[in-house]
Structure 1
Amino acid sequence: MKILFIGTVEFSLRTLEKLLFLNSEIVGVCTKRTSAFNSDYANLAPTCVVNNIPYMYIDDINAKETIIWIKSLEPDIIFCFGWSSLIKKELLNLAPMGVVGYHPTALPLNRGRHPLIWALALGLKESASTFFFMEEGADDGDILSQKKFEILYEDDAQSIYNKVINISLRQIEEFLPELKNKTFIRKKQDHSLANIWKKRGKKDGIIDFRMNSDAIYNLVRALTKPYIGAHIEYKGKDVSIWKVEEIKYDKQNIENGKVLESDDNTIVIKTYDSAIKILEHEFEILPKVGEYL
């Protein structure tokens, strides 16, 4: 079974390495030379060079020259793991077995953008690792493999990222022989259950101390590394916040946003319902007790 691989992030690299470990026949790889969009960008070219795999740096996966190159490799199936733009009809129909994509949610729930970030920001307790056959819509094709996983209170963006990588590698090991032997099962999604998460923007990462402590905690852990980080607007600048802790604080007559403690490079700030301690941040000078954020 000849596989054409598309990807450009750390998840892509790890899954490509797994396929190679399983002695898959990778006939070509499409990736990007750089990416300002993907904070978890990974260059797949070095892995291709070591393993003598043809590769192509591309910007537009649907461009004519890209399609021509992929056709010349005559893949039986295309794997698209970690690519941020939609694949159009011509490429979807190019390989006889279609295009397998990946989305780390319990499809048909939570289609759309930034799935790991939204899951943490919304405080979800469970999600899933899902491989599916791509169609022209967003994340709406038949499911090939789906494994649920728990989201713990202690989880953050990096731990969830690692969790879905580990689960997905086990899934690949399970479904790859099924694809080769044509014994796989396609499960149709119930579109009536679907929702689509929106694309996040800068304002979605702002910490507003009118929020309750739990919401702030979830926002910070959702956007921490490898992502861009949540931020506070302070004295005309954006200050990245990487880690916080919820603190019990019972006084209800203290305004939200007031700095309650500031020492040893940590800050405690009043929230709507309690308080938050900022543990890892990029403040050049710590705000003083009594200031407002």
Structure 2
Amino acid sequence: MKAVVFAYHNVGVRCLKVLLARGVEIALVVTHEDNPQETIWFESVSALCQEHGIPTVTPADPASPELLAQVTALQPDFIFSFYYRHMLPVALLALAGHGAYNMHGSLLPKYRGRVPINWAVLHGESETGATLHEMAAKPDAGAIVAQTAVPILPDDTAYEVFGKVVVAAEQTLWNVLPAMLAGKTPKLPNDISQGSYFGGRKPEDGRIDWSKPAQQVYNLHRAVAPPYPGAWTVIKDTTFVIGNARLSANLPEKAVADLPTGLAVVDNRIVGVCGDGRTLLINELLANGQSVSPAALQNILL
């Protein structure tokens, strides 16, 4: 069986390795040029393809006539998309003799759309996963082939959950691929009316509203904690980013009772006072990429 694969990020790398291990011929990989303005903390699809001698292209637009002609000439049995960042045109999907399939980082139909892991953490979910599904004109709307769930623990950051989802994606593809190669691809309902759709997130979406309850502020921190841009707040024209924090359960109420919401220093510890009177214990606070000590923050707050 021959496949054309659109891939990027760790999910792209691991799922490509699954295809190779299962004996699939990968005729072409379409990937992205790394963005120099983005923190690249993940594995390289291009490097993997170079190691295995797999042809790669990096078109700016997957709907280009040149790419359509190239894939048409290859006559792939399958087209796969593994964390490729663009929707694929229907004309391209139709070229796959045995179907076109995408690996999505949620338990569909929940969290269709962009950055599903970050949204799941932001909303305090206790579970997410990876779903392989048929690609359609609408995003993440085609029939479900297989999915694997992973837990989101109370203190997990989106980065930690992403690591679990990478493994879930690998397991999902590994387990269902023999049936797909045998022409017996499962097709399960994907009722999008029972799910949810979310768009992309920008760094400015990480601004903290300290009037919110502590759990909501903590979920925002977990959802965008480094290597993502981080939850941030501004004091006297300085932007402070929370690097590491926990919901605090050991500060006496009287210690924060008279403090305004926002950053504060209590008993030589940095805390974030939230709208419900509860606090975040901030173990690492950053300004201009450098760690800020409690004493330094206290001087700024005076």
TM-score (norm 1): 0.91
The CA distance in 2 between the partners of 1:2 and 1:123, in whole Å, is 40
Cα-to-partner distance string for 1:78-131 (whole Å, 9 max, x where unaligned): 110112221111112111122110212221122112100011111111123111
Which residue does the alignment assign to 1:268?
A: 271
Q: In structure 2, how many angstroms separate the alpha carbons of the residues matched to 1:155 and 1:92?
A: 36
Note closer, same or farther for the CA distance 1:38–1:84 as it changes in structure 2 (3 Å cut).
Answer: farther
Distance 1:255 1:161 in 2: 35
Secondary structure of residue in 1 paired with 2:298: coil
Q: CA offset at residue 132 of structure 1?
A: 0.2
How high is the sequence identity, in percent, across the aligned residues? Answer: 26
Q: Secondary structure at the match of 1:287?
A: helix
- Kept after mapping to 2: 8 A contact 1:114/1:200: yes
Which residue of the partner structure matches residue 43 of structure 1? 44
Distance in 2 separating the partners of 1:42 and 1:122: 27
Determine the structure 1 residue equivalent to 2:298: 288
User: Contact 2:93/2:99 (CA < 8 Å) preserved in 1?
Assistant: yes
**Cα distance change on mapping 1:135 and 1:216 into 2, 3 Å:** same
CA contact (8 A) 2:124 2:219 kept: yes
Distance 2:297 2:182 in 1: 62
For residues 191 and 15 of structure 1, what CA distance do their matches in structure 2 show? 25
- Which one-letter code corresponds to 2:23 in the other structure? N
1:290 to partner: Cα distance: 8.8
1:1-293 map, 5 Å? 1-35=1-35, 36=37, 40=41, 42-248=43-249, 249=251, 250-251=253-254, 252-261=257-266, 263=268, 267-273=270-276, 274-283=278-287, 284=290, 285=292, 286-288=296-298, 291=301
The residue type paired with residue 26 of structure 1 is I
Amino acid in structure 1 at the alignment position of 2:146: S
1:199 & 1:157 partners in 2: Cα distance? Answer: 15
In 2 relative to 1, CA 114–120 (structure 1 residues): closer, same or farther, beyond 3 Å?
same
Shift of 1:6: 0.6
SS class of match (2:26):
strand
Distance 1:189 1:223 in 2: 28
Structure 1 runs not aligned, ≥5 long: none
Q: Using the TM superposition, name which of 62-71 and 133-142 deviates more.
A: 62-71
Q: Deviations over 1:175-231 (max 9, x none)?
A: 111111012210121232122113223332112221222112111111123322222
Q: CA deviation at 1:135?
A: 0.3
The whole-number CA distance in structure 2 between the counterparts of 1:37 and 1:136 is 29
Counterpart amino acid of 1:275? Answer: T
Label 1:243 to 1:236 Cα distance change in 2 as closer, same or farther (>3 A).
same
Query: Post-superposition shift, 1:280?
Result: 2.1
Contact 1:207–1:216 (Cα < 8 Å) also in 2 = yes
RMSD of aligned alpha carbons: 2.1
- For 1:188, give the aligned amino acid: P
CA–CA distance in 2 between the matches of 1:135 and 1:237? 46
1:236-271, Cα deviation, whole Å (9 max, x unpaired): 2433222111113424443211513374xx512322
* Cα distance in 2, alignment partners of residues 38 and 138 from structure 1: 26
Report the AA paired with residue 16 of structure 2: L
- 8 Å CA contact 2:98–2:183 kept in 1: the answer is no
C-alpha distance in structure 1 between counterparts of 2:280 and 2:44, whole Å: 38
Residue 32 of structure 2 aligns to which amino acid in structure 1? K
Query: What amino acid is the match of 1:256?
Result: T
Q: Is the 8 A contact 2:245 2:280 kept in 1?
A: yes
> Do the aligned residues in 1 keep the contact of 2:10 with 2:166 (CA within 8 Å)?
no
More deviation, 131-140/91-100: 91-100
Unaligned runs of 5+ in 2: none
The 1:128–1:80 alpha-carbon spacing in structure 2 relative to 1, beyond 3 Å, is same
User: Which range moves more in the overlay, 235-244 or 158-167?
Assistant: 235-244
State the number of aligned residues. Answer: 290
Equivalent-residue separation in structure 2 for 1:204 and 1:14 (angstroms): 30
CA drift of 1:38 comes to 7.6
Measured after TM superposition, the shift of residue 41 of structure 1 is 5.5
Q: What is the Cα deviation at residue 235 of structure 1?
A: 2.7
1:34/1:41 contact within 8 Å kept? no
Alpha carbons 2:148, 2:171 under 8 Å: kept: no
